[in-house]
Structure 1
């Protein structure tokens, strides 16, 4: 077994009570400090408190200690990264300053240890520093003096492990698509989750496919093109926590059927690729949580 101890800390020029109030909102719908949607959100099965269970991404843990406004500890419950804990602490340094500390301690076998060193640690280090950035944004009302730079290894891991679309039936509420192509010769749909902070406005998803807009509604954007051999329409459908790219094709003649016999083989791959690229691009262009969810925690 190998032991990992990883410590991050930062002095914040804000009262400990203010920063502690931000910490107590971690995992809440208006979480102001976890760096979503670029990195996986912390999700718990109940409000922050002892016994709450959840995690972020593939890392699973439960809350084993919580002193409101001062500290919270999470103990691992899955074996993916070994056994141990991570915790946040807020330490007062006077009336208008405090120290925020994050400690991670894990015991793990050799292979997970190597995985930690190569791929996970750069992501972990970046995420924690971005948590501190968001604390500064939310507590002080301004960006940090030196925002965290995402190292190449962290960005590579982010790209490789980004969520991948999965096939679903064409949504029944894709009204624009169903009206445009009521009896398609081909139809499919691909879906991704929408993490906290990602835009729910269909107009912001306009660049998923480079085709003319054929219709819009509050939760749907329709694009498409007509040709002599086929017509197609693709629809971006937004629900509360998912985005779906649905496509319908109508073939006109033998040329259209021959063309789509080939193009249809590449279509699922291209649809998944375009949706995934747009999903990640929008996540990276979203305002940080410390700006979106600053709330009333500022002094």
Structure 2
């Protein structure tokens, strides 16, 4: 076993109380620090405080110490043996240091995984978190924003959320009422993380077909042909986006055609939905920028 200690620190030209107030909002719906939606957001089963359990992506932990405005410690869930923490240290009336520390005991397999894959992603995520803290507290970053090395970009692409199959949701009213008879239907869902667009029109590039109707949080795309008609519904909820497809065939040609297409349809649907989600996540404003915009809107 070996003990890994990984430390990232940033001196921020802002009072410790201001940065501490940002720290107190980590894992909230308007989290100004964690770099979502590019990376999976930090979530807990209750407000930030001792005993809260959750994590980000596949990393699970619980809050074991919390001093409002100053520090928070997260202990990794077993079998992992370690913790990570964030600390705000005053350096004067208008200056402070924000430090992220990770410490973990690792066996040979964990150490190899950490060195090859986990550390590059971890270092990037933490530096982006510090960028957000500095931008949220001061409106700028003293150094150029963190860049993602090629390996991190590859791991980010491979680690994107995969759509899961669900029933056509009750809220997809346009899809459910599109036809008087439906010969095929399916639906796939992906998470909607903080900072991603809530307007279904932002997701319309999922499929290059005309908009047939729009109602509330649902956008209906589709096309009619002599052999079959189809509709694709994009429904944006509070925490997810669902792409539903309904098909109505008209004749034997339509049934033969869709009988072949339906074998590749799930793969293509998952692919375009996943790609669109990644594109929108990468294009979304960073958490620190979103915080500044909210502050400006509130006056």
Given that 1:213 and 1:221 are in contact with CA atoms closer than 8 Å, whether structure 2 keeps it comes out as: yes
Give the match for residue 132 of structure 1.
130
1:85-234 to structure 2, matched below 5 A, reads: 85-234=83-232
Q: 1:275 to 1:144 in 2, by over 3 A?
A: farther
**Helix, strand or coil for the counterpart of 1:164?**
coil
The RMSD of aligned alpha carbons is 1.5
Equivalent in the alignment of 1:6 = 6
The 1:255–1:296 alpha-carbon spacing in structure 2 relative to 1, beyond 3 Å, is closer
Larger CA deviation: 202-211 vs 103-112: 103-112
Partner Cα distance (1:233, 1:51) in 2: 46
Superposed, which structure 2 residues align to 1:285-296 within 5 Å?
285-294=283-292
Please say if residues 181 and 233 of structure 1, whose CA atoms lie closer than 8 Å, have aligned partners that are also in contact: no
Structure 1, 61-70 or 126-135: larger mean CA deviation = 61-70
Residues 57-89 of structure 1 show CA distances to partners (whole Å, capped at 9, x for unaligned) of 11111111122211111111132xx21011111
Distance 1:95 1:178, change over 3 A: same
CA distance in structure 2 between the partners assigned to 1:28 and 1:269 by the alignment:
34
5+ residue gaps, structure 2, are: none
Q: Per-residue displacement from partner, 1:211-264 (whole Å, max 9, x unpaired)?
A: 111111221111111111111110101111111100011111111111111111
Secondary structure of residue in 2 paired with 1:51: coil
Q: C-alpha displacement at 1:143, in angstroms?
A: 4.7
SS of 2:4's partner is strand
**Deviation for aligned residue 1:144:** 4.9
**When the two structures are superposed, what TM-score results if normalisation uses the length of structure 2?**
0.95
Distance 1:184 1:117 in 2: 52
Q: Secondary structure at the match of 2:168?
A: coil
Distance 2:180 2:134 in 1: 52
**How many angstroms does 1:142 deviate by?**
2.9
- TM-score between both structures, scaled by the size of structure 1: 0.95
Contact map agreement 1:32 1:134 (CA 8 A) in 2: yes
Q: Return the alpha-carbon distance in structure 1 between the equivalents of residues 216 and 140 of structure 2.
A: 32
256-265 vs 174-183, which deviates more? 174-183
> Contact (CA 8 Å) 1:133, 1:144: kept in 2 or not?
no
Shift of 1:178: 2.2
